[in-house]
Structure 1
Amino acid sequence: MDGQRLSLLAGAGSAALLIAALGFQAAGYAPCELCILQRWPHVAAVVIAALIWWTGRVRGLAVLGMVAAGVAMGLAIYHTGVELSLWQGPTHCSGTIGNLATMSAEELMTRLQSAPVVRCDEVAWRFLGLSMAAWNAVFSAVLAVVWGVAAKRA
Structure 2
Amino acid sequence: MTSRAPRIAAWLAFLLPASLLGGALISQYVFGLYPCEMCYWQRWPHWAALALGGIAVLSVRRVQGLGVAMAALAAVAIAISGLIGGFHAGVEYGWWEGLTRCATAAPVGGTTDDVLNSIMSNPLVRCDTAPWSLFGISLAGYNFLLSLAGAGAIYVLLRRRKTGTIAA
**Considering the TM-score relative to the shorter chain, is it more than 0.5?**
yes
Which residue identity is paired with 1:4? R
1:43 aligns with 2:47: yes
TM-score, with length taken from structure 1: 0.80
Counterpart among 145, 149, 152 of residue 142 in structure 1: 149
CA contact (8 A) 1:83 1:123 kept: yes
CA contact (8 A) 1:81 1:87 kept: yes
1:118 aligns with 2:125: yes
Q: State the partner residue of 2:26.
A: 23
Counterpart among 2, 5, 10 of residue 2 in structure 1: 5
Cα 1:15–1:7 change in 2 (3 A) is same
1:132 aligns with 2:151: no
Deviations 1:51-76 (A, max 9, x none): 11222223322221121111011100
TM-score, with length taken from structure 2: 0.73
The answer for unaligned runs of 5 or more in structure 2 is 61-65, 104-115, 162-168
The answer for unaligned runs of 5 or more in structure 1 is 95-109
SS in structure 2 at match of 1:58: helix
Counterpart mapping for 1:91-106 below 5 A: 91-93=100-102
1:76 aligns with 2:80: no
CA contact (8 A) 2:13 2:75 kept: no
1:60 aligns with 2:69: yes
CA contact (8 A) 1:93 1:119 kept: yes
Deviations 1:30-50 (A, max 9, x none): 000101110111111111111
What is the CA-CA distance between 1:126 and the residue it aligns to?
0.5
**By percentage of residues, which structure has more helix?**
1
Provide the rounded CA distance (Å) in 2 between the counterparts of 1:153 and 1:7: 13
1:86 aligns with 2:90: no
Provide the rounded CA distance (Å) in 1 between the counterparts of 2:20 and 2:45: 11
CA contact (8 A) 1:59 1:150 kept: no
Which residue identity is paired with 1:124? P
How big is the alpha-carbon RMSD for the aligned residues of Structure 1 and Structure 2? Answer: 2.2
Structure of higher RCO (CA pairs closer than 8 Å, 6+ residues apart): 1
Which residue identity is paired with 1:143? G
